[in-house]
Amino acid sequence: MAKKSVLMIGLEPTLIDFSSPDFAMFPGMTAEKVSAGLQRDQLALASLGYDTQLCLTDFGETAEAVAREHLGRQRFDCVLIGAGVRSVPKNFLLFEKLVNVIHECAPQAKICFNTKPDDTAAAVQRWI
């Protein structure tokens, strides 16, 4: 049986200004910590038998095109949108655009959301 596939969409950590008030809900976070968390998420999902890929975007200039390109590579069973896109009010339009790209390009995929870096696997497992 083929592995279930997961695409994790989030912001490119090196583009985030964690000192900005927009990201105050993530105290002490750095690009390095986010990158390490993403790697841990991928390893955790792989250990559970999932084929997981990352799709890291900017704040909207090319985000739709990048997501569309990743979604066109293969069929995904589940797409996760990370908290940096979803939880920051300034990113609301980006979040909305990404949901619509997923709906258009991967209508069969379940969509899930993590609430913090260490519950990504639980979010995926809720749906697949």
Higher pLDDT, 123 or 117: 123
Which of 65, 64, 63, 38 is CA-nearest to residue 53? Answer: 38
pTM, rounded to two decimals: 0.94
Strand 78-81 relative to strand 5-11: parallel, antiparallel, unpaired? parallel
**Bridge partners of 57?**
11
The answer to whether 107 and 35 are in contact (CB under 8 A) is no
67-112 tens-digit pLDDT? 999 999 999 999 999 999 999 999 999 999 999 999 999 999 999 9
pLDDT of residue 25: 86
